[in-house]
Chains A and B, each alone.
Chain A
């Protein structure tokens, strides 16, 4: 109780709440725009790399975090995008931007296709289907070496910055890559956020939490799962395309199963099923090997990246199931709470009557059986006349 008193209570939709959200948005914009001026060029390159990983994790989180289906093949979708862009731009002269569109379409189709057999299966078997995809991909790349350059690598993938003063300096290329990837990351976050706030997103979570209840509510299992998988793969693939143009060199080793495991680790560390968690997780899985390499160089021959990530994951699973985002949430929860608005405004407004939909539902057989008039709070006026008034009265926001 005492704690409750000391916390700042912010009512949802109040001035404070809006101010809080605006401040947060402003802070994000400030960081994103300010970073190029604050860090050295090579650091900016690292951040760009971390952002590509973050993008894949944002996509993976849609499938695994919100949808509850583990994918062991996301490095393959990442690689699919990278190689599509790589091959199209270097061998066929396709403009990079157009190749990104191809990445998205191709991976969406591939993802939806993988989802179909996975639909028949549950739990661990879904993981196995995607594992097959993840294992086959590097092998395929090596096999078709005339197209992909095989294990020797595919070189010279690039996307020249537009002719603008901002990108013309010494670090122009790095800046351009940074902004490309930031735009991609922003886009993916927006797509996932909007999907999850929609009717579709509720279906996704409902299927994860309680499949049979979801189905009897009318969730269309097959399309929902296929679109979830497709979208998740498409985001990973777009990240791959961006990786290709920012990196310049592609080798099959860059898309091994190990990378998928890093993505999964990043998702868990950041916070499964959250919006910001995957971004944080992307930075963690990018930077841990970088730091570990620094450590390893002191102690030649050993690689600490796996050990470090492993240790972090153990800590997370034992004490912090909701990941870094969960920690942040409980920390801010000590300072303030956002109180949801109770729907009092409509309390006084005229109640809508269930009979209305029956009559307007278009179903001729319905005909609002024994008593449109008996429905709760119903006007004495006939249905049609009352309708426009009603929808006005009970509409909020």
Chain B
């Protein structure tokens, strides 16, 4: 079960932002996409989730994602934690979690999953009846991750999860992601600017520069690579 992109192009009309991108995420693997602002990371994520027009082949688990609408893509098992968390501010925390399970029909298991994520993030349990818009940034990110997991995905796409979080919260968040990967065997594709922390959980990574893949390798290689170090690690 591999999420596979083969020469994908995507953009917003005038021109392609993402050009000829090919990559794959294998079973149980955490893959990171590093790139500067404007490199096309979010565009790529939106293309995979079907939010914008795209060309090329995107396949997962035998399904041709490039031909499916976003709600069908979720049902194939590809969930996204959107950039900026995508909190539904007027729903309560619990309703947000349940909204994550919209594509599922096994009600009793949904109830179990809600409890499971309350267990993992007790802060969410304390605030379950509060409007999600009132949560702090860190709490909203926990909510976004657990909400995406509520759909019981097979691959989790995380679009810059560290955005707007303090270093401590970023640490916590990535250890949660690592936990999800290890305990659930969850495959993940994480887009990040914080290269150091992203590479610490990922096994492989790709470098995205002005819409194209500029490099790829395993985490150790990327960590040692001069290009990555100069551009993203800052030393």
**What residues of chain A have their CB less than 8 Å away from a CB belonging to chain B?**
12, 199, 202-203, 205-206, 208-210, 212-221, 273, 340, 342-343, 346-347, 351-352, 354, 356-358, 360-361, 363, 365-366, 369-371, 374-376, 390-391, 394-396
Contacts and interface: CB of A to CB of B under 8 A. Distances in A.
Contact of B102 (A217, A369, A390, A391): A217
Contacts of A203: 99, 102
B64 to A, nearest CB: 15
7 contacts: A202-B91, A202-B95, A206-B88, A216-B73, A340-B128, A354-B113, A366-B1
A391 B108 contact: yes
B28 interface: yes
A342 B126 CA distance: 6
For A213, A221, A273, which residue has the most chain B Cβ atoms within 10 angstroms?
A213
Contacts of B183: 354, 374-376
B86 A370 contact: no
Nearest to B51: A212
Interface in B45-86: 46, 49, 51, 61-62, 70-71, 73-75, 77, 79-80, 82, 86
A390 B87 CA distance: 30
Contact of A216 (B79, B126, B184): B79
A357 B152 contact: yes
A12 B129 CA distance: 11
Nearest 3 CB-CB pairings of A with B: A213-B86, A218-B103, A340-B129
B90 A208 contact: yes
Nearest to B184: A354
Given A209-B91, A369-B27, A216 B86 contact: yes
Interface of B: 1, 27-28, 46, 49, 51, 61-62, 70-71, 73-75, 77, 79-80, 82, 86-91, 95, 98-100, 102-103, 106, 108-109, 111-113, 115-116, 118-119, 125-126, 128-129, 147-148, 151-152, 154, 182-185
A12 B130 CA distance: 13
B91 to A, nearest CB: 5
A57 to B, nearest CB: 19
Contact of B119 (A221, A340, A351, A366): A351
A354 B71 CA distance: 22
A365 B80 CA distance: 21
B185 A374 contact: yes
Given A215-B70, A354-B183, A357-B109, 4 more contacts: A210-B87, A215-B71, A273-B90, A365-B62
Nearest to A221: B71
B224 to A, nearest CB: 28
Interface centre among B62, B102, B106 (most CB of A within 10 A): B102
Nearest to A378: B183
A357 B104 CA distance: 11
B116 A354 contact: yes
B185 A217 contact: no
A218 B116 contact: no
Contacts of B152: 354, 357-358, 361
Nearest to B150: A217
A206 B109 contact: no
Nearest to B128: A340
B70 A346 contact: no
A9 B182 CA distance: 42
B88 A205 contact: yes
B73 to A, nearest CB: 8
A203 B104 CA distance: 13
Given A354-B184, A370-B185, A374-B183, A216 B112 contact: no
